[in-house]
Amino acid sequence: MIEILPSILEPTIERVHEKIQMLEGLVTTAHIDVMDGVFVPSKTDFLPGDLVHLDTSLALELHLMVAEPEKVAANWGRDSHVSRVLVHAEAVHDIDTIADKIHAMNKQVGVVVNIGTSLSALGEVIPHSQAVQFMGIHRVGFGGEHFEESILPVIRELRRASRVLISVDGGINAKTAQMCVKVGATRLVVGSYLFNASSKKEMRTRIDTLERLDQEKEQ
């Protein structure tokens, strides 16, 4: 089954909380976007310590779009809700140190690659991580962007070379999700396609449909 991680890209912890509440009972993990205004132009206004205020049963995957993950990744990983911390390959200089600290907290590390970043940049970081996340969009740090099909052959290339878990973030809808699953992604991060659903029932239907995509592929 494909794992669906609803993506929450909101400036304040209050808004993050509102969206998380909508997801209770629908998924087990939510993906929270964190931006520093440096690595990407957009910026979130909450701090690691604010996560404690989230009243939720969901686990959190934190997508750190920050310039110096070595300085902040462990702080973000500390909150008990957090199960996984994602850092960008383009920003990381010392994955060992980040991975050691996050793994010492019994949490997972994932590496994110932007469009255009060569897979060869992953050689050193994959052994330290449990997942690779491909960005499906050019304008990282923003929701509702157009999916770039040019990443599909790159995903396929990594799938053939490695058994690492592959996720895709950005521009995912029913059509692009199918394309990603076909080339080997098993985890999809989905923002506007889920939150634009007209009701919780419709959101559940969309999640169910995406989760079943691999089964459809095998038929």
Identify which of residues 83 and 97 has a Cβ nearer to ligand DX5 in the complex.
83
For residue 31, which of 192, 178, 215, 163 has the smallest C-alpha distance? 192
From candidates 63, 81, 84, 206, binder to Zn ion by CB under 5 A: 63
What are φ and ψ of residue 14, in 5° steps?
-65, -45
Residue 45 known to be catalytic? no
Cα–Cα dist 69/160, whole Å:
29
Is there binding between residue 190 and ligand DX5 (CB under 6 A)? yes
Site for ligand DX5 in 122-161 (CB under 6 A): 140-145
CB atoms within 10 A of CB 87: 28
Judge contact between 27 and 210, C-beta under 8 A: no
Identify which of residues 33 and 36 has a Cβ nearer to Zn ion in the complex.
33
Is there binding between residue 61 and Zn ion (CB under 5 A)? no
Q: Under 8 Å CB-to-CB from 211, ≥6 apart: which residues?
A: 1, 2, 3, 4
Residues 124-163, mask of contacts with Zn ion (x by CB under 5 A): ----------------------------------------
Identify which of residues 96 and 200 has a Cβ nearer to ligand DX5 in the complex.
200
Residue 208 known to be catalytic? no
Q: Is 171 helix (H, G, I), strand (E, B) or coil?
A: coil
Judge contact between 23 and 61, C-beta under 8 A: no
Report the interface residues with Zn ion, using CB under 5 A: 33, 63, 169
- Which residues form the catalytic set? 33, 169
Report the interface residues with ligand DX5, using CB under 6 A: 7, 9, 31, 33, 63, 140-145, 169-172, 189-193
